Amino acid sequence: MSADSTTRWRDLRKRALSAAVLGPAALLAVWLGADAYTFLLAIAAAILTWEWVHLCGARAARLPGLGVPIVVFLAGALATAEYAVASWVAILGGFLLTWAWSERMRDRSRPGQPALRLALGTLYIGVAFLCMIELRHDGAAGRANVLLLLLVVWASDIGAYAAGRAFGGPLLWPAVSPAKTWSGAIGGLLLAMLMAAFVAPMLAPGSGIRAAAVAAVLAVATQAGDLLESGIKRHFKVKDTSNLIPGHGGLLDRLDGLLAAAPAAMILALLLGVGEPLWR
C-alpha cells in the first residue's frame, strides 16, 4: 500500500472500532423499547447540548448555557409523556427565552459572542430529539422506521467515506468542507438506497423500491446535515466538536447527519399517517 493510500485510510481502524461499539448499542436500545431508547436519547442529548454550549464559549453548568440542556430535556420529557404539542411549544418558547437571557447576560458571561448562536442549539438539537421520540412512539411501525433511519444514516456515512477516500475528485462544496467530494455523496446515496431496499422488507411489509426512494431522501438530508455541521465547525474554527469518540471527534461530529435526517423522516411519517412504515 502506498504512503498516500495509508494516509488516506489512516483513521479507518478508529472509525470501525467506534462504530462496532456504538452501532449495536443504538440498535439494541431501539429494539428493546421505551425505557432503553429514552435512556439512550437522554445520554445523547446531554452530550450534544454540552458540546454545543462549549462551542459557543459558554458553560453548561450555569446560565445562560444551562438553558440549552434545560429546554431540550423539558421538551423531551413532555414528548415522552406524549404531550406532543406542549413539547414543541417548549422548544420554541425555550429558544426565545434562551436567546433573550443570553442577550441580557452576554457582556458579563460571553463577551463578543452573539446571543443567538447559543440559543440556536435548542433548535438544532431539540428538534431532532423530539422527532426521534415521536417516531418511536408509533408502535411497531415506529420501531421499524427508527431502525431504518439509523441504518440509512450509517450507510450514507459509510458509503460517502469509502467512495470519497477511494475515488476522490471534485469537492462537493469547497467553501464549507475541504474533504467532502461528489464521489462520496454519490457513494453514500447508493449504499443507503441498497441498504434500505434489502433491509426494509425484513423490518416490516412493504416495497423495497419505495424503501430505496425513502432512503434517497434521508441520505440527501444526512449529507446536508453533514455539510451544515462542517459549516458550523468552520464558523467556530474547530476541527472537531470534542474529543469524545476516537476517530470521530465529538458526538455532534457523529450525529450531524441524523440531526437533519430525523426531521425529514418525521415529515414523511406524518404524510403517511399513524402506524405505517415509511416504505408501505
Q: Are residues 148 and 262 in the same domain?
A: yes
- 156-171: per-residue pLDDT in tens? 999 998 998 888 888 8
- Domain finish residue from 105, 137, 169: 137
Residue 6 included in any domain: no
Q: Are residues 271 and 150 in the same domain?
A: yes
The span from the CA of 89 to the CA of 241, in Å, is 28
Q: Are residues 129 and 145 in the same domain?
A: no
The overall pTM is greater than 0.75: yes
The total number of structural domains in the chain stands at: 2
Contact in structure between 207 and 279 (CB atoms under 8 Å):
yes
Residue 15 included in any domain: no
Q: What is the pLDDT of residue 168?
A: 82
Query: CA quadruple 181, 186, 190, 193: dihedral positive or negative?
Result: positive
Q: Could you tell me the residue range of the domain that residue 181 belongs to?
A: 139-280
- 3-41: per-residue pLDDT in tens? 455 456 566 666 666 677 777 888 888 888 878 898 999
